């Protein structure tokens, strides 16, 4: 096993990576961090149980996992280059892509074009078995981070790996119907909070299929961004309750309006539009048409919003 791991590490530490001091920062030794970050995302998805077979698609989940690493190290105005990196890893022997209807005249620079042209990729036969073993995953992750990143950023990248894994497990446990689990990472309250926040969000967004429970909008980008996020009915800092029945999946406008008492949910799960939404020069526009509309159902009936929690929101948050 050690020889297999060492052989794999030798391959991963010799990725062909462009250098550009004007584009990339010191944390990645002035070289592109894209390839090692994408491999880290694949390692995390395997650890989370999202990758059972040796085939990975250019999916929303892959993009979202990769983005959490990207946002840790890259300038906010820089393109993540995920689509081109997905293809470039084939040249390094990490995987072999499977294409469909590729137009050679059209460069693959966006995730949308990548998804149109490529079904996915099969990981190298020597690497894939190692991804199913915790010890070897740890060794591969450490080799990637120590090779391509400076010591100052390494702890943050390891934290992302911990958060990705912890949040995926937390989300699955929330959706299992078992009591809300406690999070004990030994890495402090901030990491624990990020795990619970991301895990709760993933669980609720899945329950509502990325659709806003109030307005019904569903907008997702191929780069791993969704218009919908989870909102606690009774805020977490008050309730400490991450059970899915204390949450809703809402778009940015509906979520902000709900949190600030300009929308509510009634006893029959109907949308309440208070008079306050029209005050102070407000122009609520399309929100008014949702009055009395029944909110979207969750995939599992047992996770529908708690009437007790909705009543608390009506009494404590909803404006007159």
Do residues 141 and 216 both lie within one domain? no
Please indicate, yes or no, if residue 197 is contained in any of the structural domains: no
Find out whether 242 and 192 touch, Cβ atoms under 8 Å: no
Q: Decide: 136 and 5 in contact? Cβ < 8 Å.
A: yes
Domain that holds residue 293: 208-316
Say whether both 30 and 140 belong to one domain: yes
Number of H helices, E strands in the chain: 12, 6
Residues of the chain with pLDDT under 70: 1, 102-105
- pLDDT score of 76: 74
Q: Is 167 inside any structural domain?
A: no
| pLDDT score of 311 | 98
Predicted TM-score of the model (pTM):
0.89
What's residue 105's pLDDT?
67
pLDDT in tens, 243-289: 999 999 999 999 999 999 999 999 999 999 999 998 888 888 999 99
How many domains would you assign to the chain? 2
> End-to-end CA distance of the chain, in Å?
66
Provide the pLDDT for residue 7: 92
* Sequence-separated (6 or more) residues with CB below 8 Å from residue 117: 99, 100, 101, 102, 103, 108
Would you state the pLDDT for residue 1? Answer: 66
Whether 40 is covered by a domain: the verdict is: yes
Whether residue 132 is found in the same domain as residue 248: no
DSSP symbols for 132-143: TSHHHHHHHHHH
- Using CB atoms within 10 A of its CB, is residue 1 exposed (0-12), middle (13-18) or buried (19+)? exposed
Assess if residue 188 is contained within a domain: no
Q: Which pLDDT belongs to residue 141?
A: 97
pLDDT of residue 259: 97
Domain identity same for 108 and 216: no
- Element of type H or E holding 264: strand 264-265
Q: Do both 121 and 8 map to the same domain?
A: yes
Q: What is the model's pLDDT at position 216?
A: 95
Q: Which two tokens stand for residue 287?
A: 């929100």
**Angle formed at CA 186 by CA 5 and CA 33, multiple of 5 degrees:** 45
User: Does residue 159 lie in a domain region?
Assistant: no
* CA distances (Å), origin 114, targets 19, 51, 96: 24, 19, 14
CA distance 317 to 32: 47
Q: What is the pLDDT of residue 245?
A: 96
Comparing C-alpha atoms, which of 28, 37, 25, 114 is closest to residue 70? Answer: 37
Is the residue at 174 inside a domain?
A: no
Q: Phi, psi at residue 67, to the nearest 5°?
A: -60, -30
pLDDT at residue 94, rounded to an integer: 96
């Amino acid at each position: 096993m050690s020889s297999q791991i060492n052989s794999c590490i030798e391959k991963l530490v010799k990725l062909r990576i462009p250098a550009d001091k004007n584009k990339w920062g010191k944390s990645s030794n002035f070289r592109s961090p894209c390839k090692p970050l994408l491999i880290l995302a694949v390692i995390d998805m395997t650890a989370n149980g999202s990758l059972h077979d040796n085939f990975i698609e250019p999916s929303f989940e892959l993009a979202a996992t990769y983005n959490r690493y990207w946002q840790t190290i890259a300038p906010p105005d820089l393109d993540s280059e995920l689509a081109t990196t997905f293809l470039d890893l084939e040249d390094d022997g990490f995987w072999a892509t499977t294409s469909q209807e590729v137009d050679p005249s059209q460069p693959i620079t966006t995730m949308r074009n990548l998804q149109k042209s490529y079904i996915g990729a099969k990981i190298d036969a020597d690497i894939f078995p190692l991804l199913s073993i915790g010890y070897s995953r740890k060794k591969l992750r450490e080799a990637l981070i120590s090779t391509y990143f400076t010591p100052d950023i390494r702890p943050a990248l390891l934290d992302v790996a911990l958060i990705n894994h912890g949040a995926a497990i937390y989300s699955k446990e929330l959706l299992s119907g078992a009591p809300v689990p406690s999070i004990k990472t030994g890495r402090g309250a901030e990491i624990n909070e990020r795990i619970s926040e991301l895990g709760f969000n993933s669980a609720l967004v899945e329950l509502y299929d990325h659709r806003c429970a109030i307005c019904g909008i569903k907008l997702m980008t191929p780069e791993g961004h969704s218009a919908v996020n989870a909102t606690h009915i009774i805020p977490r800092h008050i309730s400490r309750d991450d059970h899915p029945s204390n949450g809703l999946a809402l778009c940015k406008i509906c979520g902000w309006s709900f949190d600030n008492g300009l929308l509510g949910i009634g006893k029959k799960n109907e949308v309440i539009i208070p008079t306050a939404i029209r005050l102070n020069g407000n122009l609520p526009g399309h929100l008014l048409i949702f009055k009395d509309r029944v909110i979207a159902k969750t995939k599992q009936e047992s996770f529908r919003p708690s009437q007790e929690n909705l009543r608390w929101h009506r009494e404590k948050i909803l404006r007159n």
